[in-house]
Amino acid sequence: MHPRGTLRRRVALVVAALAALLGGCSRPGPAPGASAAVGALPKVRFKTDWYPQAEHGGFYQAVARGFYRESGIDVDIVPGGPGVPVSQIVLSGQVDLAMGRSDDMIAWVSKGLPFVVVGVYMERDPQAILVHEESPVRTFADLNNRTVMGVAGSNWIDYIKLHYHIDFRLIPSNFGIAQFMADKDFIQQCFVTNEPYFVRKNGGHPRTLLMSDSGFNPYRVIYTTQRYLREHPAEVRAFVAASLRGWDDFMNGDPSPAKALISKANENMPGEFMDYSIKALRDYHIVAGRADLGERPGLMTRRRMQEQVDDLLQLKLIPELLPVDKFVRFDFMPPDLQSGAH
Amino acid sequence: MTQADPPHIVELKDVDKRYGDGPLILDRVGFSAERGDFITLIGPSGCGKSTILKLISGLSPISAGRIVVDGVGPSGALEKLAFVFQEPTLLPWLTVSRNVELPLRLHGTGGAERSEVARKSLALVGLADRADYYPRQLSGGQKMRVSIARALSVSPRILLLDEPFGALDEMTRDHLNEELLGIRQQLAWTAFFVTHSVAEAVFLSNRILVMSANPGRVHTELRVDLPYPRTEDTRQSPAYQRLVAEGSKLLRSVERLKP
Amino acid sequence: MSAPATRARLPRIVRRLLPLATGVAVILVWYAVCLGMSSEQRFLLPAPHEVARALVDKGPALWGAALNTGEGALLGFAAAVALSFVMALLLSLSPLVRASLYPYLMILQMTPIIVMAPILILWVGPGLKSVTIITFLICFFPMVVNTTQGLISTDRNLVDFFRMCRASKRQEIFLLRVPAALPYFFTGLRIAGTLAPIGAIVGDFYAGNSAGGQGGLGFLTIIYSSQFQMAALFATAAVSCLLGFVFVAGVIALSWLSLHKWHDSFSQADL
């Protein structure tokens, strides 16, 4: 019966634990240092947070152009989707690494979850607030007493409310733009690389407020479990290095190999849309960051991580101060970035 | 100006009955009943005896012929008729007394009057103390008595009973037969009774119509001259037993008839 | 002493304690599983006492959410009961009416809620209204089917009897068919009573909101999941389960009140 089918999604969040438990009852991942067979590269499974899209481009580029193989690993990209509990899946051992956000990492490690950040692939978060061109909302403070559609439980919600001393009503995100198109006053969370394209395609005039401009400025990170890091440091190092190489090639070289791979994996991905996303990544300095602020692709700094910890502490989202070294390993970045880590 | 009551309270003349284009169920059935008669219809399965009751009650229309009930057609006489079905057909969600009140309630009679009538009816069948019980708390025989009480609540002139005691054991059946005759002494109604039991037919009626089947016809009439009131002693009398034997013989001969 | 006497039924106290003993066994197995897990997997399955603690810590939030969800469920359920009864009366009138209306009811039933919910929210907006409508849609059909079945399944003999008493159509419907249909009605009610809380939680998943604590259990699920609060998630599941029990208990109570005197579903031995 259909309600149970829908309910399975919600229950999946709970039962994912049990299912993952049963599925992952055997030791997670391959034995330390072992290869599947003589001559075969060690397999590394990497989970993304959505269907294949340009926002994952660097990873697909690295696969398509063989960068991972050159670094000595065979990478499987496992796409996520709406409602997919990525972090729980990492914890269960079904995948080895995944993409996430640094603010989530801080919150989870504060709870005692054994995650660790090993690299960043985007200097800035592409999250934004989407409004219509004519909307009176021009700054984050203007969100006061309004209704916003967003992903419930996200840290930015509490951050914005506290930082600007405002309050607003939150309705659950359905990851679409139907309501936005129907209502000129509608406000919702979006990716600056994504929703505006579709709004324009449907004849709308969107305007965005980039989240990182509000002071809430997380990294988009690559993370894994402490156990996997302990048992497969070589694979982790190789993965981070080759991924950053892939991102560099994707943003500055010819992105077609990645685009081809993404199209194959996701039939609903028009080339024109991917081009739009890539341009947005560039225009908003998402991947490379702002050079004038000392940001560089793949660079994570202690200072910025500390700022985020302080923010979350102030928001009371973490109970006490979390030392940066408890959730970040700076020594897995490529050597040329490590000096800039302070 | 009141019309004189017609001598025959029920009259059937050349009545045919078929359902749609189906076969003839009843073929030129004719008989008349006088006021106070207790007529039992008996015969093999399919002879249409229950159908005749339905025709008299107006639940089913005739296909040909004429049927007069108390001077009018069956539908006009509905208020003077009461039907007791094979099943007690009590409403399970009503108490015994509310079940008995039901026909009057459907008719529009006021509450106080209904209760009084129900009380009296239940007393007649000896169930006054069960007035607040629910049907499921009663035995089969008790339910049938409630059904009879309900039929009597409308003070019918004509009582139609379709194998009412068929599902009960012999002892209960005999008791109920005696009760029925006892009530008949107090209220004068004309009865049409259908049964498979010759003994029951002889005990209850003054006239037995033996019917043949395919199509249904009235084959023979057996007059039962035993005097009323009849009691359990009547069953011991030689006259009774002779009549039962005769009736059984007739029934067997009718069953052997070629269609 | 004679052997048969000692093989009498288990003493009452044992029978009462048996479910409790099973519950304790389940909790012990739960702990055993937790102990047997790796340090990573331990985070995916919180231990019973952690769930208990989450129930206490998040108590106010869970209670408020349960009330919200319960409100939506109750309203949607009540609307479904009332409207399904009217629809059933309509459908019971003739086979022609049934043939013309049933296909559309089926379409309503077959369209998955996942597809209907976003469209609904577009028209009606988020909040209690949408949750109520979603709950209504989930409960409506089973109730219509059961009540209609009850109304058209009246004992032929009783119908004949009413006809013999020259009852009007209105009398036949309200004094015969409707009471006779009550057992079927309550079957439908029991089904709808189980579905209503589920429907409200699903509705809340799509249409809940945080204004003035209006979020329900579905909304909390999203929050706890995205914040990796597994114990709180389990606690939410437990509260949802409880809400379901409350609904079903309510329906069974109603059903007992109406039927216990006269219907066989409540056997004499239990009275």
What is the rounded CA–CA span in Å between residue C259 and residue C263?
5
pLDDT, position C56: 93
β-bridge partners, B221: B209
Indicate the pLDDT class of residue C122, thresholds 50, 70 and 90. Answer: confident
Beta-sheet pairing, B81-84 with B158-162:
parallel
Quickly list DSSP for C15-71: HHHHHHHHHHHHHHHHHHHHHTS-TTGGGTS--HHHHHHHHHHTHHHHHHHHHHHHH
User: Residue A10: its pLDDT value, please?
Assistant: 60
Among residues B13, B39, B46, the alpha carbon closest in space to that of B28 is found at B13
Q: What is the pLDDT of residue C267?
A: 67
Helix axis angle for C48-57 and C230-259, nearest 10°, is 80
Beta-bridge partner residues of B13: B66
Q: How far apart are CA B25 and CA B141, in angstroms?
A: 31
Q: What end-to-end distance do the CA atoms of chain B give, in Å?
A: 50
d(CA B214, CA B45): 10
Residues ≥6 apart with Cβ < 8 Å to A297:
A123, A244, A247, A248, A251, A287, A288, A289
Query: Could you tell me if residue B18 is inside a domain?
Result: yes
Residue A233 host element (H or E): helix A233-252
Helix axes A256-265, A271-283, angle to 10 degrees: 130
A287-322: pLDDT as tens digits: 999 888 889 999 999 999 999 999 999 888 899 999
The 10s digit of each residue's pLDDT in C62-77 is: 999 999 899 999 999 9
Band of pLDDT at residue A27, cut at 50, 70 and 90: very low
Spatial separation of the C-alpha atoms in residues C42 and A64, rounded to whole Å: 36
Residue C223 with chain A: CB contacts under 8 Å:
152-153
Q: What percent of chain A has pLDDT over 70?
A: 88
Tens of pLDDT, residues A52-73? 999 999 999 999 999 999 999 9
**B13 located within any domain:** yes
The Cα A184–Cα A137 span in angstroms is 12
Is residue B28 assigned to a domain? yes
Could you tell me if B205 and B40 are in contact, meaning their C-beta atoms sit under 8 angstroms apart? yes
Contact A77, A67 (CB under 8 A): no
In one letter, which amino acid is B201?
A
Chains linked to A by 3 or more Cβ pairs within 8 Å: C
Q: How many domains would you assign to chain B?
A: 1
Q: Which residues of B touch C162 (CB under 8 A)?
A: 106
Q: How far is CA C263 from CA B92, B159, B251, C191, C268, in A?
A: 7, 30, 42, 19, 9
Burial environment of residue C268 by CB neighbours within 10 A (0 to 12, 13 to 18, 19 or more): exposed
Give me the domain span that covers residue B34.
8-92+156-256
Alpha carbon distance C27, B149 (integer Å): 61
CATH number of the structural domain spanning residue B247: 3.40.50.300
CA distance B186 to B179: 11
Region of poorest pLDDT, from A17-31, A139-153, A316-330: A17-31
- Rounded Cα distance between B71 and B11, Å, is 9
Residue entry with tokens 């108390």: B70
A31 has a pLDDT exceeding 70: no
- Chains A and B touching, counted as 3 or more CB pairs less than 8 Å apart: no
- In the predicted model, is pLDDT for residue C269 greater than 60? no
Complex ipTM: 0.81
Residue spans per domain, chain C: 55-259
Q: Which amino acid is at B157?
A: R
Domains in chain A with CATH codes: 39-123+218-341 (3.40.190.10), 127-214 (3.40.190.10)
Q: Is A5 in CB contact (< 8 Å) with chain C?
A: yes
How many residues are listed for chain A in this entry?
A: 342
| Neighboring chains of B (3 or more beta-carbon pairs < 8 A) | C
User: Which has more confidence, C265 or B213?
Assistant: B213
Which of C266 and B101 is assigned the larger pLDDT?
A: B101
Flag whether B216 is in a domain: yes
User: Strand, helix or coil at B251?
Assistant: helix
| DSSP per-residue string spanning A290-331 | -GGGT--TT---HHHHHHHHHHHHHTTSSSS---GGGTB-GG
Q: Is B65 left (phi over 0), alpha (psi -120 to 50) or beta?
A: left
Could A92 and C202 be called an inter-chain contact, meaning their C-beta atoms sit closer than 8 Å?
A: no
pLDDT of A46 strictly over 90: yes
Cα–Cα nearest to C200, from C128, C145, C249: C128
Name the nearest CA neighbour of A60 among C229, B170, C231, A51: A51
Establish if A316 touches chain C: CB-CB under 8 angstroms. no
Query: Is residue B36 included in any domain, yes or no?
Result: yes
Q: Do B102 and C165 make contact, defined as CB atoms within 8 angstroms?
A: yes
Question: Is residue B213 in some structural domain?
Answer: yes
Tell me the per-residue pLDDT of C179-238, one tens digit each, with 9 for 90 and over: 999 999 999 999 999 999 988 988 888 877 665 556 789 888 888 888 888 899 999 999
Whether A342 and A185 have beta carbons less than 8 Å apart is answered as: no
CB contact under 8 A, A10 and C206: no
Give the nearest partner residue to C163 out of B59, B87, B135, using CB atoms.
B59
Instruction: Kindly state whether residue B80 falls inside one of the protein's structural domains.
Output: yes
Q: C76, C199 in Cβ contact below 8 A?
A: yes
Domain spanning C55-259: which CATH class is it, in words?
mainly alpha
Domain presence at residue B127: no
- Which residues of chain A make contact with C112, given a CB cutoff of 8 A? 2, 5-6
Q: Is the peptide bond before B229 cis (omega within 30 degrees of 0)?
A: yes
- Non-local CB neighbours of A261 within 8 Å, separated by 6+ positions: A52, A60, A63, A64
Task: Check residue C186 and give its pLDDT.
Answer: 94
CB–CB contact C161 B89 (8 Å): yes
B107 vs C: CB within 8 A: yes
Q: Quick check: helix, strand or coil at residue A126?
A: coil
* Residue C2 identity: S
Tens digit of each residue's pLDDT (9 = 90 or more) over B60-116: 888 888 888 877 776 666 678 888 988 889 999 999 999 999 999 998 888 898 899
pTM score, whole prediction: 0.77
- Tell whether C31 is within 8 A of chain B (Cβ): no
Contact yes or no for B179/B144 (Cβ under 8 A): no
- Dihedral pair phi/psi, residue C228, rounded to 5°: 55, 40
User: Encoding tokens for residue C63?
Assistant: 């209670």
Cis peptide leading into A136, omega within 30 of 0?
no
Q: What is the pLDDT of residues A72-119, one digit of tens each?
A: 999 999 999 887 889 999 998 899 999 999 999 999 999 889 999 999
Question: Counting every residue, how long is chain C?
Answer: 271
Q: What is the pLDDT of residues B154-211, one digit of tens each?
A: 888 899 999 999 888 888 899 899 989 988 888 888 999 999 999 999 999 999 999 9
Amino acid at B256: R
Yes or no, beta carbons of A10 and C221 under 8 Å apart: yes
